[in-house]
Structure 1
Amino acid sequence: MQMDYSIFSNFHGQLLVGFSGGADSTALLLMAARGSEKSGCGLLAVHFNHHLRGRESDLEAENAEKFARKLNVKFLKIDLHISPGGNLESRARQARLEKWKELCKNYSDPVVLLGHHLDDRIENLFIRIGRGSNASGLTGMQLYSVVGGVKFFRPLLIHTRSEIEEFLKENGITSWAVDSSNLSGDFTRNALRNKILPEFYRLFSGGKKAVAATLENLAYDAAYLDETAMNYYNNADDRYEQSFWYLHRDKAMICRMLRLLCKEFFNDDSPLTAGAIHHFADMVENQKSGICMLDEKRILHFSGGMIYPHRELPEKILWNWREKRSIVWGSWRFTAEMITELPENITLYQACFNVAELPEILEIGVPEEGEKMVPFGRKSAVKIKDLRIKRKIAAFPVNPVLRTTQKQALFLPGIRHSGEYPVTPGKPGIMISAEKIKDFAGKTCKK
């Protein structure tokens, strides 16, 4: 089998090779060692020891290090302690991804090389079929991909497992690690590899090459749909509005644009479950308000016809405005400015108080349940919730409350301010201004 070493001329940074010691990763490391000599790239073999098979796992790590040293390649072993149980393969994959993220931070322009081959890609296709994936999911294992900010490259993806083993033998390598669990039918992928796919190939004479052709055709369809969804999403000024999603609620588009939204809000575009996508589509179609939990880390708020990312609300803070004239709470900045007379036009984001009477230590936080304020010009207290609704301001994202340490609400930016501690004509006052410095996506607001 001929390997194309010229592909390494495209890389100029650090190459990190996922090296288990199995046939595929052994061939990959050999290929990378030869290719990186010409390109001048740095090379590091990275071995993950999952500690799932006792001494067998440790022995594989030792042999992997010996082989890397034989090739004069730097070696790094990373210990992962994955508890046995459900979704083992998925949990192990996620744990490895987190380690790749950490590792890549230490290098300039890093690329992770993985030894996936055509057999892996076919197995992945059948697994995704069983999970109800769309065309993008079915063809998710690509030559190049970026996941969680990590760049992955799979140079063996067009070669079969048998071709890779042939390449090793041609280069005098006759032994490699064989995971004993690969021979078991206990795991989904192993059952496919050892039982289902051999029978499938027996029934269909086209074999692996025919399935590979199907994957390529699906990839063309997926690329077109992904590009169309990206154009819709990037060209829309109203993409945070439920109405935008309602207009583009076609299932082929909504799942792809939702993934782009997750990338923007959470920097995480990993695939969502069918249930999560259905939940999102249901809230859009029925114009619901409330929380849409896509998974444990990606949570959306539907409020006032808008879609917001869930953010942990900041704890309340104390502010000594005499000592510190500006303070930040969450996405808001409060500023205290001395004034000699009342400004002619005061906005809803400004409030003026008597500098001699206003307590020097104030509190900034979220509105509390049932909290009230006596608005300027009124004698009786009104619930903050009612003031917010009157201004037609959604419950989320939350506007802060400036109050005394005795829980007396003074200022609701964008809504109202109280009549407490009024400015005395002819005497100095203090004007407190509030401005939003970040939008709900966490981006800096333009002034």
Structure 2
Amino acid sequence: MIPITLSEFEQSMEGAVFPLAVAVSGGSDSLALMLLAHKLAQKKGSYVIALTVDHGLREESREEGRRVAQWAQAQNIQHVILDWVGDKPTARIQEKARKARYALLTQWCHQNRISTLLLGHHQQDQEETFWLRLSSGSGLTGLSGMKKRTVRDGILFLRPILDFPKECLVATLSAHNQEWIEDPSNHNPHFFRGRLRQFLSEEGLVSGRLNQVIKKLQMDADFIQSSLENAIAHVVQAHDSGYLAVKKEYFSALHPAIAKRLLSFLMQWFSNADYSPRATQVTGVMDKIKKGIPFTTGGIYWVFSHEEIFLFRERRAIQQGFSISSLQEKTLWDQRFWIDPQLKEYVPEGTILGSLKSGWLNSTVETKSLSRATPWKSGELSEAIQKCHMKKLDCAGAHVPRNDNLGKAIYLHQFVPTLPALWVKGKVVAVPHLCYATLECEKDLRKFIYLKPLFHDSLRFTI
């Protein structure tokens, strides 16, 4: 095998924004990626930063991190070691270490205003992923493998060497007289991936031909993905107060394959999980929707009207509150709302952001002002609250869900308690999405507490 040329590498870097970060473990794959990215950055008059995560799971990991730092410094490449602190898992070790690794890498990129992170997955990694997912019963989306470009939380995860075999990466290192570290866990039979690698090698099932099959599957998956995005755009509406509405007529007309993927997307939107829910769980939701009876699953409360399916956050699944003063960067609360750290400038010291909780309306607003048989229209609940002598915020366009044929208790007792609220000394001082506040504030606080987009970076994550 011959080394990867700078021209070949540059063609695979479409979309990258310099300066950028490179995840470097010290293995041949990530080290070759670091060197190639460094050469390209020099050509463009920029630079790269190498990031090494020390999981603390092996005694030698700290020394390996230092060796990577020395190699990077020898090339005039900035290097940072990110430590995974806290208790370490005793089960599902690789899975949990992977999640911690990406969390640390993403956090560092946000803190240092880096928008592109390079990952060292190569052709054999892609093929191993195919076999892993095949063994777990994955469908088309899973079998289409890792995507070359994935955006998550505003960071572009780019895999520029995904189409290159490992031998080319080793040849690239040899051309630069660069050593590398062999991670023993890669071939450890204790882990399924290690056993799989040994089996594939012994049976000769690792080859470039499978990579071509994966590319064909990716084309089919991309077509279905495009159909799904089109369906979502026409069928689903995200409301700024934290719930989703699905048009029943359009949903019923969807092909079952697209309808199930749409439900999977909605469930993943609420969970913010890396991967879609299991197919059996999605099928169960589809069956319950056909019955038209309200139900809860996946942290979601599903309610039906004549025209729409409403998805609210299930009350018992709401995330715990936290102190606004602790905010250092934009933070996702309850997997639904982005909280801007500028909020600290407009609220009292000691303010807690959390859910509104049950019983607040009954104790704050005259019950008779909310008792009615007709549907709430946009802003009407806000007006009812304001009539109870609450201070008014400028909340033009505030919206609460309409209900065509269900009692209002559905919304007062299931939806309203899921709204984000600001608490001081155990009392609610503001509910931005109800235009309610007892504190002096010239700003519409919804500018600092806002719903994450429906299409938040990517419909599926494959990192």
TM-score after normalising by structure 1: 0.66
Richer in helix (by share): 2
Counterpart of 2:185 (choices 181, 189, 194) is 181
The alpha-carbon deviation at position 390 of structure 1 amounts to: 4.9
* 8 A contact 1:291–1:300 mirrored in 2: yes
Counterpart of 2:170 (choices 159, 165, 172) is 165
Work out the CA distance in 2 between the residues paired with 1:134 and 1:106.
36
Choose between structure 1 and 2 for higher RCO, CA contacts under 8 A separated by at least 6 residues: 2
Percent identical residues: 23
The alpha-carbon deviation at position 90 of structure 1 amounts to: 1.5
Deviations 1:413-441 (A, max 9, x none): xxxxxxxxxxxxxxxxxxxxxxxx89xx9
TM-score after normalising by structure 2: 0.64
Counterpart of 1:85 (choices 90, 94, 97) is 90
Work out the CA distance in 2 between the residues paired with 1:198 and 1:265.
43
Greater shift, 278-287 or 266-275, is seen at 266-275
> Which residue type is aligned with residue 67 of structure 2?
N
Work out the CA distance in 1 between the residues paired with 2:231 and 2:16.
32
Is residue 67 from structure 1 mapped to residue 71 from structure 2 by the alignment? Answer: yes
Cα separation, partners in 2 of 1:41 and 1:254, compared to 1, 3 Å: farther
Work out the CA distance in 1 between the residues paired with 2:35 and 2:28.
11
Cα separation, partners in 2 of 1:99 and 1:160, compared to 1, 3 Å: same
Greater shift, 259-268 or 69-78, is seen at 259-268
Work out the CA distance in 2 between the residues paired with 1:178 and 1:314.
42
Is residue 39 from structure 1 mapped to residue 33 from structure 2 by the alignment? Answer: no
The residue number in structure 1 matching 2:131 is 126
The alpha-carbon deviation at position 245 of structure 1 amounts to: 8.0
* 8 A contact 1:300–1:310 mirrored in 2: yes
Cα separation, partners in 2 of 1:251 and 1:196, compared to 1, 3 Å: farther
Work out the CA distance in 2 between the residues paired with 1:314 and 1:169.
52
Deviations 1:4-28 (A, max 9, x none): 2434585343311100000001101
The residue number in structure 1 matching 2:302 is 302
Work out the CA distance in 1 between the residues paired with 2:249 and 2:182.
52
Work out the CA distance in 2 between the residues paired with 1:353 and 1:226.
47
> Which residue type is aligned with residue 190 of structure 1?
G
The alpha-carbon deviation at position 291 of structure 1 amounts to: 1.3
Work out the CA distance in 1 between the residues paired with 2:169 and 2:57.
26
Work out the CA distance in 2 between the residues paired with 1:67 and 1:143.
27
Greater shift, 242-251 or 123-132, is seen at 242-251
Determine helix, strand or coil for the equivalent of 2:235. coil
> Which residue type is aligned with residue 44 of structure 1?
I
Is residue 397 from structure 1 mapped to residue 439 from structure 2 by the alignment? Answer: no
The residue number in structure 2 matching 1:229 is 228
The residue number in structure 2 matching 1:215 is 214
* 8 A contact 2:9–2:161 mirrored in 1: no
* 8 A contact 2:236–2:246 mirrored in 1: no
Determine helix, strand or coil for the equivalent of 1:306. strand
> Which residue type is aligned with residue 279 of structure 1?
G
Work out the CA distance in 1 between the residues paired with 2:387 and 2:188.
75
The residue number in structure 1 matching 2:424 is none
The alpha-carbon deviation at position 105 of structure 1 amounts to: 1.4
Deviations 1:363-405 (A, max 9, x none): xxxxxxxxxxxxxxxxxxxxxxxxx9655755521379xxxxx
* 8 A contact 1:260–1:269 mirrored in 2: no
* Aligned alpha-carbon RMSD (Å): 3.8
Give matches, 1:276-425, under 5 Å: 276-293=281-298, 299-304=299-304, 305-310=309-314, 312=318, 330=356, 349-350=383-384, 390-391=407-408, 393-394=410-411, 395-398=413-416
Counterpart of 2:149 (choices 144, 152, 159) is 144
Determine helix, strand or coil for the equivalent of 2:81. strand
The structure number with the bigger radius of gyration is 1
Deviations 1:117-138 (A, max 9, x none): 0010000111111222222222
Is residue 190 from structure 1 mapped to residue 194 from structure 2 by the alignment? Answer: yes
Work out the CA distance in 2 between the residues paired with 1:23 and 1:89.
20
Work out the CA distance in 2 between the residues paired with 1:237 and 1:254.
12
* 5+ residue gaps, structure 2: 238-243, 322-352, 367-379, 391-404, 419-445, 454-463
Cα separation, partners in 2 of 1:350 and 1:443, compared to 1, 3 Å: farther
The alpha-carbon deviation at position 259 of structure 1 amounts to: 4.5
Deviations 1:58-84 (A, max 9, x none): 221111111010111111101125624
* 5+ residue gaps, structure 1: 202-206, 294-298, 316-327, 337-346, 361-387, 401-436
Work out the CA distance in 2 between the residues paired with 1:170 and 1:227.
42
Work out the CA distance in 2 between the residues paired with 1:314 and 1:12.
36
* 8 A contact 2:356–2:416 mirrored in 1: no
* 8 A contact 1:27–1:164 mirrored in 2: yes
